[in-house]
Structure 1
Amino acid sequence: MTSLDSAHDFVLDKDGVRLTVENAVATVTLTNPEKRNAQSPALWRALAQAGRSLPGTVRIVVLRGEGKSFSAGLDRQAFTPEGFDGEPSFLDLARGSDAELDAAIAEYQEAFTWWRRSDIITIAAVQGHAIGAGFQLALACDLRVVADDAQFAMRETSLGLVPDLTGTHPLVALVGYARALEICATGRFVHAEEAERTGLANLLVPLAELDDAVRDLAAALLAAPRDAVIETKVLLRGATNRTYDEQRTVERAAQARRLRDLAGLGD
């Protein structure tokens, strides 16, 4: 892939994560292609920091991985007795109290939660493998543009684990319970064509066109006024948890805010 962020201002570059910003578009890049952008607690902390570091002018965040794969998931070093340097191993965490273990997993999840913020739209540009934590990171984003070589898989169950990095909720929302269960329980690969057909992918393009497709999508998303996009995202995010009449009510309230704002009568 060509670089999406060669002309951007650097904001963060640490532990396999680089955040760059150009005007209203930020790019978060996973920068360890030698390991297929395998993930670690240090990388998760850097991702969480990237979310906290976004300037208020940012409207679109693009997530991408350097090299041939988006992210091959959790670095298997996590399952060794030694774990990562300076980090408790997963085995050590398992020996801790319930509260300590819950707090550790909650901290890891922070890397995956901020992508849902109402004031931004997030786009995952996925090529090659997106496995386990990599799959869940792509699912954390609002939209997914995938190259024709993309392969998704949720391998946690085969390791005796569950997907715990916030991926289960969006997966079920996108493909339904039965297909989500089958994908997770079998750990099979979901190839790019199936991803598009089942709603995992918003757009499927040849690998050579991935960057251009993401740029075009970002430009289209920036065309509408920011406040209208924010209100619309909030409406859609909450729609499945509301009744039809409840949704009508919040639509009216949102539209009233927009009309008053357009009339110069907003707060």
Structure 2
Amino acid sequence: MTSTETSRPHPHLRAERDGSLLTLTLDNPDRRNSQTPSLWRALAAVGESLDPAVRVVIVRAEGASFSAGLDRAMLTPQGAPGEVNVLGLAARGEEPLAEAIEGFQRGFAIWSQVPAVTIAAVQGHAIGAGFQLALACDLRVVADDVQLAMRETSLGLVPDLAGTSPLVRLVGYARALEICATGRFVYAEEAVRAGLASIAVPGDELDAAARDLAEALLGAPEAALRELKPLLQSAVHATPGEQQRSEREAQARLLTAMVRGGGKQA
């Protein structure tokens, strides 16, 4: 039996390691897990230093809401204490602000790039940055009270935390445009029907459902799962010929390793 190791990469982020499973918990429920650049830097640092032995990552949150999105203080002249002043950067011009946003995006984009399969367990509000963090994961399990929304356009902005690409891949251009432009809520039933979530469960069963999915993934042969994630990701943009080459190269690696290992796969 493995023992759980707990750390705090950020005051509002808890990391719990249990063998090959890492659980990251947004832990600022009093503010509905609103997000800041320092949190995004912490998420990026965790992803970039992820132990190769971690095979599955669950991203979850304490409280009634997964994340209400950006800390609105960041869009005020005084900014959020201890955080980058976004409006101050904007006043200096487009280039410094774009450079800063590139750093912000890393805390989201990293989760599709790590070898581990990532699962978002999402309850209540997941708005803006909250929705984009859920989209950053490979899989999503939602509570039946979930309310997903992109509210950036209503503020005169656009989603900019690496969420537009996965949203369009999952639901298509037209529905993604409608969801973002209107800022409306996507509820649990539609989320599952549209492919945004694998399953919707009662709120008190959310953590157990995410854990069950994690256990199922951990039960798959490790080498095959590590090949499968990038293989399926490449299928989105690859030509048929390119994808077929990726398939045969991945299969060749696995079969060769299996033969060398005496027929056993890791």
TM over 0.5: same fold?
yes
CA contact (8 A) 1:118 1:233 kept: no
1:76 equivalent in alignment to 2:72: yes
For residues 86 and 67 of structure 1, the distance between their equivalents in structure 2, rounded to whole angstroms, comes to 24
The 3 A distance-change label for structure 1 pair 86 and 202 is same
AA aligned to 2:209 is A
Q: For 1:150, give the aligned amino acid.
A: V
- Of 80, 90, 105, the residue aligned with 1:109 is 105
Q: 2:140 corresponds to which residue?
A: 144
Match 1:255 to one of 242, 251, 261: 251
Partner Cα distance (2:43, 2:90) in 1: 24
With 91-100 and 192-201 compared, the bigger mean Cα shift is at 91-100
Contact 1:63 1:125 in 2 (8 A): yes
Tell me if 1:42 matches 2:38.
yes
Corresponding residue of 1:157: 153
Equivalent residue pairs, number: 260
CA offset at residue 12 of structure 1? 2.9
Q: Superposition pairs for residues 171-186 of structure 1, below 5 Å?
A: 171-186=167-182
**Which whole-Å CA distance do the structure 1 matches of 2:34 and 2:211 have between them?**
25
Give the AA of the match of 1:166.
A
Q: Is the 8 A contact 2:86 2:97 kept in 1?
A: no
Could you tell me the TM-score, scaled by structure 1's length? 0.94
Alignment of 1:1-267 (within 5 A): 8-264=4-260
Secondary structure in 1 matching 2:160: coil
- Partners of 1:184 and 1:74 lie apart in 2 by 16
Taking the aligned partners of 1:193 and 1:231, their CA distance within structure 2 comes to 31
- Matched residue type, 2:123: Q
8 Å contact from structure 2 (residues 24, 58) kept in 1: yes
In structure 2, what is the Cα distance between the partners aligned to 1:245 and 1:13? 43
- Distance (whole Å) between structure 2 residues aligned to residue 59 and residue 231 of structure 1: 12
Give the CA RMSD over aligned residues: 1.5
CA distance in 2, matches of 1:8, 1:69: 25
Letter in 2 for 1:42: S
Contact 2:47 2:114 (8 Å CA) reproduced: no
In the TM superposition, what whole-angstrom CA distance separates every residue of 1:8-29 from its partner, at most 9, and x where no partner exists? 2013342311111110000110
Maintained 8 Å contact 1:37/1:71 = yes
TM-score by length of structure 2 reads: 0.94
Distance in structure 1 (CA, Å) of the matches to 2:86 and 2:115:
34
In the alignment, residue 200 of structure 1 is paired with which amino acid? Answer: L
Matched AA of 2:178: E
**Quick one: which amino acid aligns to residue 112 of structure 2?**
R
Identity %: 58
Runs of 5+ consecutive residues of structure 1 not aligned to the other structure: 1-6
Structure 2: runs of 5 or more not aligned: none
